[in-house]
A and B are shown apart, each in its own frame.
Chain A
Amino acid sequence: MTPQSFKKTGLALLVLTALALPLILRSPTYLHILIMLYLYAYMTTTWNLVGGFAGVLPLGHSVFVGIGAYTSTVLWLQWGISPWIGMLVGGCLAGFVAYLIGKPTLKMRGAYFALATMAFVEGVRVIVENVDQLGPFKLNGPRGLNIPPLPAGEGSLLAFQFATKEPYYYIILFMLMGVVYLTWRLSRSKLGYSLSAGGEEPEAAEALGVNVAKCKVTAMVLSAFLTALAGTFLAQMTLFIYPKSVLTLDLSFELAFIALIGGRGSLAGPIIGALMLRPVTEFSRIYLSATLPGMHLILLGVILIVVMLYQPRGLSEPLTRLFNRLQDRICSTKTGGAK
């Protein structure tokens, strides 16, 4: 077996397992946990397009989740426009907003960009919490928006609502596979090379013909568009959105935590990170939220410190090494046996 085919087989097994899981795991509770895990892996992967490759630290990505969630929900509630169309509209709107924030802030260095993106989410959240009506759009202030559920047992593709968890599972699984594939393609493209180079040594990259600021803005717009799609998905999953659920720093920080712990700028990092950290968040929300709200962020912070001390580039690096060793062992025994 060649290393190439070993990788392909591994990947195929992984995908098949993910596709088959709902057939084995029939419990809606477990499926829900998996759906949320994929959703976070998805959002972190899209975060990674800027936070990982472009070498900056965006701490306000929830604003794009919020834009996606609010746009599709408002369009559905007020005009009956299918959330699938709303999803695309929200993505474009988020991309446009990302352009407006990215243009001036991506020229800033490190911490300033992080602070600017944080300030922006907080600003947007305060605005949304304080207006019930924004022009023709009903936002309903801090109370948020309810999507009336379809009658029990009914599902509709057009309404993006389903009676069981399985359709949600497959939608988010395909979305996740889509962005992972896109990231992989991007990392091997001119834009990917330019982003990595510009993130590492901006002056050298510029001397080699890379318009670093422009590449970063492009990545930011792409990332915002894709992140907003997750917002619509989240809204349709929960059928209830409010500023504190989709427009918070909590969510923005969690994405950054997952990326940093999993492995910033790597393909597997966001998935590994989500796999490790979603359970921590879920359990601390279930068992500690009454007594210690926000505990999950403290736990994530502690884990981040420990990981950064021992694996400053995140967990994906030692795991990749482990995988490679396994691959070497298996591939060499196979060829050895043939001799």
Chain B
Amino acid sequence: MSLLELRNISMDFGGLRAIDSLSLSIDEGQILGLIGPNGAGKSTAFNCVAGVYRPTSGEIWFDGANITGAKPWDLCRAGLARTFQIVKPFASKTVLYNVMVGAFARTDKTDEAEAIALDILKSLHLDHKKDFKSGALTIADRKRLEIARAMATKPKLLLLDEVMAGLRPTEVDEMIDVFRTVRDSGVTIFVIEHIMRAIMALSDELVVIQFGRKISEGKPEAVAKDENVIKAYLGDEYVAS
């Protein structure tokens, strides 16, 4: 059964159509990768799913319910969490505080929230930095904190927007491990990523979009050979003749 389904989503900003009749679905337990050139509309698609924008047309279904136009905080409580491409830590607060804000989505008690947060931090190997001010973290740790906060809300589906951008190769490897940890804990993952090595290794399925339109989908190996995809990334002249 699919956990998330986009049915013919379109999103207009004034005259600009950022998403054009996009349809896709994610099965429970899967990792679905979303790729495409810069400005293709990937983050916009996430923002529609997460309730930041209401799509101009089309429907979004999550966990058997129509969630088109639902508010971000209600979606979070329904089990849909996300990270931001440009990280948004509560910079004046500690790492633990940041994660506890997420944990409060599942409990009203402060000590329970703290316990949940510490658990998550431990599983993501961030617990030794729990008392650091989040504004003082390295970029890799900030990205990790984004994931930890989202995980603290106990999601069924996690939307990850370029959490590997700006990381060094060793940090990318660590992040791949983080993804696996998250997936093994039973969370379905919808991920945007530019780093091909990572997305190829991780995804069960890939969707490629360009100018807001889907140009290819399928298993990573098949997508990598798709002419449309090669054209979109490298230009017409690179297509093998």
Q: Could you tell me which A residues sit within 8 Å of B by CB distance?
A: 188-190, 193-194, 196-197, 200-201, 203-212
Contacts and interface: CB of A to CB of B under 8 A. Distances in A.
> Lowest 6 A-B CB distances belong to which pairs?
A209-B105, A209-B76, A204-B88, A206-B72, A197-B101, A201-B88
B84 A209 contact: no
Contacts of B91: 200-201
Interface in B118-159: 149-150, 152-153
Given A190-B108, A201-B89, A206 B73 contact: yes
Contact of A208 (B101, B108, B110): B101
A279 to B, nearest CB: 31
B105 A189 contact: no
B92 A209 contact: no
Contacts of A200: 90-93
Contacts of A207: 50, 72-73, 76, 81-82, 84, 150
A260 to B, nearest CB: 16
Interface of B: 50, 52, 71-73, 76-77, 81-82, 84, 88-93, 97, 100-102, 104-105, 107-110, 113, 149-150, 152-153
B71 A211 contact: yes
A193 B73 contact: no
Given A193-B101, A194-B104, A209 B77 contact: yes
A193 B100 contact: yes
A211 B70 CA distance: 12
A212 B72 CA distance: 11
Contacts of B108: 190
A193 B88 contact: no
A214 to B, nearest CB: 9
A258 to B, nearest CB: 21
Contact of A201 (B90, B110, B153): B90
Among A188, A193, A200, A209, max chain B CB count under 10 A is at A209
Given A206-B76, A209-B77, A210-B104, 12 more contacts: A190-B110, A193-B100, A200-B92, A200-B93, A201-B90, A203-B72, A203-B88, A206-B71, A208-B81, A208-B102, A208-B105, A211-B71
